[in-house]
Chain A
């Protein structure tokens, strides 16, 4: 084992150690704690980049790398697996972590105790869930990230947060019970929890066991769908995300993607072994659930009265699009979905941060007014006309926020020229052009549904965001200017610039996503790397002639 091999466990060790040290410092030295947090998050970013670069190489040895914890062979011990998909998710997590942490440094991290340690433990849970190659370990890392997220959701306290967190905790505890039931059914029938070994054993199950295994997989799938916020299991999401403090909500954006990741990982592994259709993709159910989620999110966006909820429904829309895309199937669709995943996660995070900046110095009544103004008319509007104010100077801070809002609006509604458009276009393109049936000139019913759902939800997003924007920026109220620090604006700008970079470098990024999707299709490489790897301690290797 070289140092490069040990890098695989670094994304779990770094936040664990950093969080532990922070707890020892016990909030007495805020600067030191914040400095450790920044250092640890940057270190995770560096490790994620290193893992991504290694996994992007073409030779099979570095595409899927396995780390044996405790150096037990994979059939007995627990493994970590770093392949392209895992490395991509790690990089996304670390990037999001950096931006949210940067934003929180202005004021949010002082709003309650233990923000930094909880933040690191959340990152640890996320990184672990993306790296693990074992179902029960996946459960443990889910619990780590959930436990941290409960604390973070309550960060800043207040009645709305406590009330939303209460629902969130109950729902996730029930989901964890379902997770355990699914896991134990799978263990009871297949006799292993190693994902790679499972992929091989499915084909060997006798019909009775196979039926039970499928029930276990379905129960497990429901648990993942709860995390992904799929309809009808995601009603908790907009309320919680709207109530959570901005940097926390921004990081939570990737938590729904963990559920999606688990479905994609297990689905692609079992698809290769079972020959064609995968039980985790649910034979059309996943697609239907995804499409329903998109529809629900579109209605929710139009009905939202404050921008926090609007952003929450946007998370649901992106989650639904991803599930429907995976349910639709095809390598081209998977690569488009991965591009969409990266773009939408960054965008929604930027939007959450921006919403918090815009809502400073605004009362709740303003938000309700923004929605009801059209319906009831307003005297304020006529007053404003009478005053005939020509050439109102726009303060610089409003102008900067306005530009950021415009960019976010373009990104989340999927209008050209930014990466949101490219991502949605790639999905639509693989519905129309790349799918096997479409080549013969036939677009399936599923294809039309997906096309319709994505376009209609984009339209709903445009309407909702435009309305919110007009009421925020083009009002004549003499409210105070929001007090915005440079760091906060910098965090938003960083996320938007990353989306711009995704747009400019769309070619190479799409090629990488294509390679990732191809790698998922060849689940044999993953299984082989986990199973076929000899028990290699450095000493054993030296002893061999």
Chain B
């Protein structure tokens, strides 16, 4: 499981970075989204990977740390998802405004070269 998660995070981050460095604004926004998925998974994984362990206290489960997952990274990742989502939406608006004002979807607003 560790291998799958780490390969997934690495692949998402690499694709995100590659797209970020592309010249079209749409590629940049998709790159940002992929990068934020990678980051969210990474935060989640930092709470240690556990299968079948609930993060919320349950009276029927023994009250020891061994039987619970760490709830904090899950709370953190929720916050990060919400903020990331809002920022992506905002970026989309600016992207469209830039496209409308400059007539080009290049990140600099002007086409370079042939």
A147 in contact with B90 (CB, 8 Å): yes
Given contacts A154-B94, A184-B73, contact A163 B109 (CB under 8 A): yes
B43 in contact with A180 (CB, 8 Å): yes
**With the chains together, A184 CA to B25 CA distance in Å?**
29
Min C-beta distance of A189 to chain B, whole Å? 9
A174 in contact with B20 (CB, 8 Å): yes
Q: Say yes or no: is B91 at the interface (Cβ < 8 Å to chain A).
A: yes
Q: What are 26 contact pairs spanning A and B, CB under 8 A?
A: A147-B90, A154-B94, A157-B97, A162-B97, A162-B109, A163-B102, A165-B94, A167-B107, A169-B87, A169-B90, A170-B20, A170-B32, A173-B32, A173-B87, A173-B91, A174-B35, A176-B87, A177-B35, A177-B39, A180-B39, A180-B43, A183-B76, A187-B73, A187-B76, A188-B46, A188-B47
Closest 7 CB pairs of A and B: A188-B46, A184-B46, A184-B43, A159-B101, A163-B109, A177-B39, A162-B98
Q: Say yes or no: is B80 at the interface (Cβ < 8 Å to chain A).
A: yes
B101 in contact with A162 (CB, 8 Å): yes
Q: Mark B1-17, 1 if CB is under 8 A from A, else 0.
A: 00000000000000000
A166 in contact with B98 (CB, 8 Å): yes
Chain A residues, CB < 8 A from B84: 173, 176
Min C-beta distance of A130 to chain B, whole Å? 20
Q: Say yes or no: is A520 at the interface (Cβ < 8 Å to chain B).
A: no
Q: Say yes or no: is A432 at the interface (Cβ < 8 Å to chain B).
A: no
**With the chains together, A176 CA to B39 CA distance in Å?**
10
Q: Say yes or no: is A181 at the interface (Cβ < 8 Å to chain B).
A: yes
Q: Mark A133-173, 1 if CB is under 8 A from B, else 0.
A: 00010001001001100100010011100110111011001
A166 in contact with B39 (CB, 8 Å): no
Q: Say yes or no: is B57 at the interface (Cβ < 8 Å to chain A).
A: no
B42 in contact with A184 (CB, 8 Å): yes
> Closest residue of chain A to B109, judged by CB?
A163
Q: Mark B40-64, 1 if CB is under 8 A from A, else 0.
A: 0011001110000000000000000
> Closest residue of chain A to B90, judged by CB?
A150
Give B73-95 interface residues, CB cut-off 8 Å to A.
73, 76, 79-80, 83-84, 86-88, 90-91, 94-95
Given contacts A150-B90, A159-B102, A173-B87, contact A181 B109 (CB under 8 A): no
Q: Say yes or no: is B69 at the interface (Cβ < 8 Å to chain A).
A: no
- B residues with a Cβ closer than 8 A to A are 20, 25, 28, 32, 35-36, 39, 42-43, 46-48, 72-73, 76, 79-80, 83-84, 86-88, 90-91, 94-95, 97-98, 101-102, 107-109
Min C-beta distance of A261 to chain B, whole Å? 21
Given contacts A173-B87, A188-B46, contact A180 B102 (CB under 8 A): no
B87 in contact with A143 (CB, 8 Å): yes
> Closest residue of chain B to A143, judged by CB?
B83
Min C-beta distance of B92 to chain A, whole Å? 10
**With the chains together, A180 CA to B107 CA distance in Å?**
25
**With the chains together, A174 CA to B91 CA distance in Å?**
12
Task: Choose from B35, B94, B102 the contact partner of A169 (Cβ within 8 Å).
Answer: B94
- A residues with a Cβ closer than 8 A to B are 136, 140, 143, 146-147, 150, 154, 157-159, 162-163, 165-167, 169-170, 173-174, 176-177, 180-181, 183-185, 187-188
> Quick one: which of A136, A154, A163 has the most chain B CB within 10 A?
A163
Q: A157-B97, A170-B107 are in contact. List 13 more A-B contacts (CB 8 A).
A: A143-B83, A159-B109, A162-B98, A163-B98, A166-B95, A169-B94, A170-B91, A173-B91, A183-B76, A184-B43, A185-B46, A187-B72, A188-B46
Chain B residues, CB < 8 A from A184: 42-43, 46, 73, 76
> Closest residue of chain B to A177, judged by CB?
B39
**With the chains together, A227 CA to B50 CA distance in Å?**
35
Task: Choose from B36, B76, B108, B109 the contact partner of A136 (Cβ within 8 Å).
Answer: B76
B42 in contact with A169 (CB, 8 Å): no
**With the chains together, A544 CA to B63 CA distance in Å?**
31
Chain B residues, CB < 8 A from A143: 83, 87
B98 in contact with A170 (CB, 8 Å): no
Chain B residues, CB < 8 A from A165: 94
Min C-beta distance of A248 to chain B, whole Å? 15
Chain A residues, CB < 8 A from B73: 184, 187
> Closest residue of chain A to B75, judged by CB?
A136
Task: Choose from A163, A169, A177, A188 the contact partner of B108 (Cβ within 8 Å).
Answer: A163
Min C-beta distance of B82 to chain A, whole Å? 10
Given contacts A167-B107, A184-B73, A187-B76, contact A162 B94 (CB under 8 A): yes
B35 in contact with A136 (CB, 8 Å): no
Min C-beta distance of B39 to chain A, whole Å? 5
**With the chains together, A177 CA to B36 CA distance in Å?**
6
